[in-house]
A and B are shown apart, each in its own frame.
Chain A
Amino acid sequence: MLTAGPQRTVAVTWRLSSLARRLVTLALAALFLAVITRRAEFAGLAAPALLLLVPRQPGRPPSVGVTLAAGADQVTESEQASVLARITGHGEGTVRLRLLPAAWITAGPPALGADGWYRLPFRVRHWGLRPVGTLEVILHDRWRLSEGRLTVSLPAVTCLPLPARLESLVVLSKLPARLGEHAARATGEGTEFAGVREFVPGDRQRRINWPATTRRGTLQLNTFAAERAQVTVILLDVSTDVGTAGESTADLAVRAAAGTAAAYLAARDRVGLISFGRQVRWISPAPGRRQADRIMNMITFDSGDGEPLTSVSRLPNAALPPGALILVVSPLLSLRLVEALRELRERGFATLVVDVLATEPDIGSGLAGSRDRAMARLARRMWRMEQDAIRFSLRELGIPVVYWDGRSSLDEPLAPYTRRVMVSRT
């Protein structure tokens, strides 16, 4: 059950309805023609319109009560949400509601429930803080001769980015000594079988491997891999945003970051975030649901409270604990970020870049001359070569770069690194 907001009393401005105006036109035109042409049938033709206009009475409510209730304060992209509205004090007249959607809002048809509440479903198609729009209430009197309209602004809703699908995780070969769910190379108290060794006094008898003991003639013991938690830091690059709104590089980057953070936090890892936008903002790695909320809030809102990008010479140490996996989601258009990645590699961090550059600059689309078009083709080739060079230089440094198109699962580009542990060369 939802808690409804307080009832507001909104004044209604009544005016002649479109039906009444048309009936007046019909009556006046027919009567005018009856006088001009002296044909009685035209006067009779005006009779139905005049009779329909007669019942118009001034007893209309000057105001109505509007109560709103929001279905949810927070939704995910393309998730359906609803606004509930109840209109009271309209007397015998009829009420019609229409949701006039704001940008990036898709409104559904309103439906009146048996309890007197109207449900106005809508979907938000882009992440961020989105105003839903305005609610238009159209009132008609019983005879449909008067029409009253009023509009009510609807509250904004927070829309979280749709997380990219990621089921297999990139796991480092060396994991910090924190209890977790990833099988480490070291033996420990986990559940994944690691090997067999000779029994020594003090070992648990329940772990004795009896088939191996029978073969070798001495007591043999099962050993298991230790289970450790990984520290993952997501470096979200939204310093440049190119492409169609809704599918731009920033859109793909935040969806990839949201999906990655959710997947690692679900595996009980410690996840941190560095947002590389107008400011550099960060959240130190931590596990848990509260951390997930903090990360999603930072991804969704630009609070503007970080360090200005121009004043940051290197990425913050507080957000980069030793042994962390750095997952970079970036279109690699910012040379400042590329330099930061080189510096990260020099500091020994295992780094992997998810490239989200799914668009190219629109060079020469409006050019008519063949010479101009050739120059545009050359410029485009130079741009592509520059991008290839950036990615090649990163690979040469030992930073893998994988491309994600924004539509498929993140598992596809990350498959070469999720099938086996990623060796960290510290």
Chain B
Amino acid sequence: MTAPDITGPVRPVTVPARPVLAVAALAAATVAWAAVPMSGARAGARPALIVAAACAVFSVAQLAAALLASRPGTARRDTGVYQAPLPGFIRRAWDGVRAVPWPQGLTVAVLGLEALHPARPWHTVVLGVVVLAFLLALHLAESADGPAVLRPQLPLIAAGLGLAVVSAGAAMLPAVSSGSGWLTVIAAAAAVLAAALALPV
């Protein structure tokens, strides 16, 4: 077996800034959309907003750090046997921060922040769209792929958004929005389904 000739041009080394900016914009939009207006929110909205903002910042920092670490041209240096205490502590702390799943925290925080506001179905659906866009953009940035890789998922995303719109419309009906029992049962069944899907194979 022979391998091809290697005498071709090599692409220049670049750092992808655009995906990070897109993710940062979507994270900021998610937090802002869930927060406004703060005046009508219940108690606990302010701590939830702080948590959501922190999760957004750390999500973007985590992504940027991951991209910088995997940047072509980055070489590991020998750190030596001995290391000063402060840089060692900072390095360990940063490694700990990077290990936290901040995007999941952001998702939970913004949904909680939205729940602390009075019922506003269309606003919630738009928030869902923005959160989904944030998660997909984050995945694309991490995997350094273009939006084209999500083409197989497009029908599913469209169907899901259609269901979300239907649910928002249903929530605006007075009988349903009052909180009847069947909605609770359906939600619980869906929770079981999601938990089953989450189990690793």
Contact = CB atoms under 8 A, between A and B. Distances in A.
B156 A52 contact: yes
Interface string B1-42: 111111010110110000000000000000000000000000
A52 B104 contact: no
Contact of B2 (A1, A36, A101, A144): A1
Contacts of A32: 191
A209 interface: no
Give the secondary structure class of A's interface.
Answer: mixed
Contact of B187 (A31, A80, A96): A31
Interface in B60-86: 70, 72-78
B99 interface: no
B193 interface: yes
Nearest to A80: B10
A34 B187 contact: yes
Contacts of B161: 47-48
B98 to A, nearest CB: 13
Interface stretch (A110-118, A256-264, A313-321, A376-384): A110-118
Contact of B132 (A26, A67, A115, A117): A26
Contacts of A44: 125, 128, 163-168, 170-171
Interface in B99-115: 101, 103-104, 107-108, 111-112, 115
B164 A104 contact: no
Contact of A69 (B3, B112, B142, B187): B3
Nearest to B134: A22
B190 A46 contact: yes
B107 A1 contact: no
B8 A48 contact: no
Nearest to A37: B115
Give the secondary structure class of B's interface.
Answer: helix
Interface in B131-179: 131-132, 135-136, 138-139, 142-145, 149-150, 152-153, 156-157, 159-161, 163-168, 170-171, 176-177, 179
A337 interface: no
Nearest to A107: B72
B171 A39 contact: yes
Nearest to A82: B6
Contacts, number: 239
B90 interface: no
Interface in A32-52: 32-52
Interface stretch (A10-18, A173-181, A267-275, A298-306): A10-18
Question: Sorted from nearest, which 4 A-B pairs have the closest CB atoms?
Answer: A44-B167, A48-B160, A38-B179, A69-B3
17 contacts: A1-B3, A24-B194, A27-B190, A28-B194, A40-B176, A41-B121, A42-B115, A44-B128, A48-B157, A51-B156, A94-B145, A106-B75, A107-B75, A111-B11, A117-B3, A143-B152, A144-B153
Given A44-B166, A94-B145, 6 more contacts: A16-B200, A24-B197, A40-B167, A47-B161, A84-B4, A109-B72
Interface of B: 1-6, 8, 10-11, 13-14, 70, 72-78, 101, 103-104, 107-108, 111-112, 115, 119, 121, 124-125, 127-128, 131-132, 135-136, 138-139, 142-145, 149-150, 152-153, 156-157, 159-161, 163-168, 170-171, 176-177, 179, 183-184, 186-188, 190-191, 193-195, 197-198, 200-201
